[in-house]
Structure 1
Amino acid sequence: MDEQDWLVKRFEAERPQLQAMAYRMLGSLPEAQDAVQESWLRLVRTDPSTVSNPGAWLSRAVTRICLDMLRARKSRGEESLEASFAGSITREPGRSDPEEEAELVDAVGLALLVVLDQLTPAERLAYVLHDIFAVPFDEIAPLVERSEGAARQLASRARRRVRGRAHIQDADLSASREVVEAFLIAARVGNFDALLAVLDPEVVLRRDPMSVPAGGAGELHGAAAVANQFVGRAQATQTALVNGSVGVVVAPYGRLIGVFDVSIRGGKIIAITTITDPARLRQVLLAVLDD
């Protein structure tokens, strides 16, 4: 086997791990695929005598490429959330498989992908590399161009943002989560009676002005009217901490397009406020709920 064939085999063996890392760093399957392919192109342009461990070399290369891509994303300014969502479902033919990306979202966690997008590029990489892939900080530091101590601080800040107060096993938090998850399950499967069971008879739905159709009402009152709005319509949703309380993120393919701020009393949902305005969404504090 010649050297080129050996490199190809090593790259293909490493590709699943590289793509898993890149996807968590970037939150986009097409971009993750681009990053992994670019790492291969850099490898074949490198003097083989300087690459003692191709797997480690490729991991470092993918990380640096992802960091550059995240920084470029920030420097361009945040794309509108509608544009981001549109891009996720109108992919270039052959670039990625929607089913594959849906499987990745399930594996990573929809809420985690959304919260990771709120981090700085360096925070995101430090968190992903250390907390998800167990890369030691002395290896992370040069990749994010910081000292080892600073890399630890990046991961710590990211961890606080990602987890919020979700690590606290609060009885009210747990009870609220059960109610919200029951609401989402009933909505997804189209079970109208189960929706009514978790909604207070006087529940109020307050809709973001951006999502109200022309001539539509900004508020709906009553369990039946609110249930009708959600029955069969809660796909791509997951529970999360929304401004410190249990709520819902709406994020097809991990791209945040909406949030439900949910109020609960006596085991029933008494109010749901939807937020879809991109400017307002950027002000919402989101965190992941522990399993």
Structure 2
Amino acid sequence: MDGPTRTGLRAMARGLLGSAAEADRAVRTTEGVLAAYGPRPGARRGPGPVPDPGPPPESVLARVCLGRLRAREARRTDPWDPWAEAPGSPGLTPAERLVLVLHDLFGVPYEDLAPALERGPAAVRQIGARARARVRGAEEMPAPDPARLRAAVDAVLAAAREGDTAALRALLDPDAVLRADHGAVRGGVRPAHGAPAVARVLAARAAVARPVLVDGAPALAGAPEAVYVFTAPAGPITSVDVLADPPHLSRLAIATP
């Protein structure tokens, strides 16, 4: 791989993973994947069929780094404080971070990110819009449709009461995250990442919940004294925030619908 190209890939990986050592490992993995496709067509000499050039290096790197980000998120166990996040670290999902860094900072086209995310370019564009809104501090952007959000929350409650984890997974974005504050963690809730893991938490915890309104938006309240706040900007549920700390709950307007 040419020096400038390798340097560029390392910069992308560093921006995503935050560690020079991790970035180097990701680039080496990317080079190994690309090597399986043989030399690039322009470097080939002589007659015969042109070898498959393989996917763009940026697309392979995106898939490699996304796997590392997802693994990191799956291992996360620390409680979450929604009012104490550092500026510039707004709890992005791995997919949101991928699009924000590679597209917005390095100009990688949505089409090259789509295979790594297993989405179409239009869906990747939506992920990018959601990530930018989080960075700007607009967690609810675009403004939620109350009727659609209510339908999603009702569906979560119904599936949880049935113990239907398959139905719960279908309601969640593949990169959905469940965040829990200190009070929720003390109550036995553990952070989760990915639709299967989040669905398991909801199946175990939301079955005894009841519908409420949190700051006017459809949500669930469970025992002991916790609320489940859902974010679904443009389709599936992307995040579930479980809040049980009294100082957190005191900041919320919780009402019966």
Query: TM-score, normalized by length of structure 1?
Result: 0.36
In terms of fraction of residues, the more helix-rich structure is 1
TM-score between both structures, scaled by the size of structure 2:
0.40
Higher relative contact order (CA closer than 8 Å, sequence separation 6+):
1
